[in-house]
Structures are given as structure tokens and as C-alpha cells.
Amino acid sequence: MTKREIIVLTDVSLITCVVQRGLADKIIQAARAAGSQGATVNFAKGMGIRERLGILGVAVDVEKEVIHVVVSTEQQERVFEQMYLAGELDTPGMGIMYLTPLEKAATYVPEEVLQKLAIKADKGVNNTAKID
């Protein structure tokens, strides 16, 4: 019987960002440049400030893209800030973004990364949660 093990990552957070359709790619590019590893996008419909803008509301798309990015807590501030700036979320109607702490995450971790972490752990550096 083969041994199966699970590498659990802790100290990770989920950044969720809701923006108008078509803007996700630019924001994900910024997130990756800031150090995040991957992203997932799904479509949605939303309402918010659009309904309060009256005739000007036509400038805000009803169709949204919801971006999910898992990051280590070490990186979360930097990635969050870069995504915020890329999405121009300081402009009304552009979208909303929030950070959720995660208890744990799991994915395939390549052998060379595990070896690197093991070396750091031997040196007394706690890096079990690093996913970069």
C-alpha cells in the first residue's frame, strides 16, 4: 500500500475582489507581480452604487468578475495593496475587495520546495506556511 500524505499550509489568507467584467486580468497581473502564485475568477452579477448613480449608473457594469487569490499572511498586505491600486478601487463603483483569514490550505507541493522548506526548518526557520 502506498503512503499518502497531505501537506497542510497554515498562515494563509484569501483575498476576494469583486470588479466589473473585464478588469480581472489587470488586477491578477498586479497580484502576481506582488508575489501571489495563482488566482481563480468566476462571473457574477452585482448591485451597489450603480443603482444610486441614476443615469450615470450606466457607466458601471452589472456583470462582475469575482477574483479569489490565496496568499501567505506574510504577503497579504503587499498583494492586497497592489490589487487595490490596479483595480482603482478608490473610485466609486469600481468594486470591493476583502481579506479572509484561512485556517488551512492544501495543494500539490513540488519535492524541491519541500526540500527547501525542510532545510529552513532544520535551521530553525518556521516556514511551513510559506507558499511563495
Give the interface with other proteins as residue ranges (CB under 8 A).
Answer: 4, 6, 12, 14, 28, 37-43, 68, 70, 100-108, 110
In terms of CB distance, is 1 or 6 closer to other proteins?
Answer: 6
State the minimum distance, in angstroms, from the CB of residue 60 to other proteins: 22
In terms of CB distance, is 62 or 113 closer to other proteins?
Answer: 113
Q: What gap in Å lies between CA 87 and CA 22, rounded to an integer?
A: 11
Could you tell me if residue 3 is left (phi over 0), alpha (psi between -120 and 50 degrees) or otherwise beta?
Answer: beta
In terms of CB distance, is 36 or 87 closer to other proteins?
Answer: 36
State the minimum distance, in angstroms, from the CB of residue 30 to other proteins: 14
State the minimum distance, in angstroms, from the CB of residue 102 to other proteins: 5
CA-CA distances (angstroms) from residue 56 to 51, 87, 92, 95?
Answer: 9, 20, 12, 16
State the minimum distance, in angstroms, from the CB of residue 5 to other proteins: 8
Q: Per the structure block, which three cell numbers stand in for 72? A: 501567505
Q: What gap in Å lies between CA 96 and CA 46, rounded to an integer?
A: 11
For residues 117, 123, 125, 131, the Cα torsion angle rounded to the nearest 10 degrees is: -10
In terms of CB distance, is 88 or 132 closer to other proteins?
Answer: 132
